[in-house]
Amino acid sequence: MNSQNFTYLSVPTVNSPSKTVYFAAGWFTDKQNKAYKLAMDAIEKNPTIDRENSYVPLEHQYKGLRVDEHPELLEDKEWATATFNGDCLGIKSSDIFLCTYIPDEEDIGCGVELGLAKSLGKYIVLVIPDEDYGKPINLMSWGVADTAIKMSDLEVFDFNKPEYSFYEGAVY
């Protein structure tokens, strides 16, 4: 991957196709929040991503209700079912499954989504913070990923040109 290749792409042209992504990422820890913001900024700039029509789970609160303001929702089966179904809809209706992945803070929710995305035939891209790239990741995540890139490459990565590669790091 040579970022030079993408320079001219950073000026989107009328006909350049763009892809929608399901934006899988945690928002529970400082590290996750930092990576979330970096990844979001990058996809805003990436001309091969249709940011406006991509599915960001946090933008799809069931009935506009926020869990932090309504903790009782967490015991409500209607809310849970609708939120789960919404995430499944986001995964299946997006072109690409983009997963912000922090080796030290792996999240079972991303795990389930990775498994679903694999079975739905989605192109699965892991984005790993530069400082964490190369650290061991879970074997099952490793196995379902089509490629794993560094955060600093996300802005110029060409999502129209799928390319398989192994993660260049260990598994555990």
Residue 52 CB, shortest distance to a copy of itself, in Å, is 8
Residue 115 CB, shortest distance to a copy of itself, in Å, is 2
How far out from the chain centre does Cα 6 lie?
21
Which residue number, 40 or 82, has a Cβ lying nearer to a copy of itself? Answer: 82
Q: Which of the residues 78, 113, 131, 168 is marked catalytic? A: 113
Residue 35 CB, shortest distance to a copy of itself, in Å, is 15
Residues that bind a copy of itself (CB under 8 A): 14-15, 17-18, 50, 52-53, 55, 60, 62, 74-75, 77-78, 80-90, 92-93, 106-123, 136, 138-144, 146, 160-166, 170-172
Which residue number, 51 or 150, has a Cβ lying nearer to a copy of itself? Answer: 51
> Is 113 a catalytic site residue?
yes
3-state secondary structure of 167: coil
Which residue number, 32 or 160, has a Cβ lying nearer to a copy of itself? Answer: 160
Which residue number, 66 or 84, has a Cβ lying nearer to a copy of itself? Answer: 84
36-60 burial: b if 16+ Cβ within 10 Å, else e: bebbbebbeebbbbbbeebbbbeee
Cα–Cα distance, 115 to 55 (Å, whole number) = 18
- Which is nearest to 39 in space by CA: 120, 146, 149, 122? 149
Count other C-beta atoms under 10 Å from residue 33's C-beta.
Answer: 13
HSE (CB half, 13 Å, CA atoms) of 18? 22
Residue 132 CB, shortest distance to a copy of itself, in Å, is 14
The residues carrying an active-site annotation are: 113
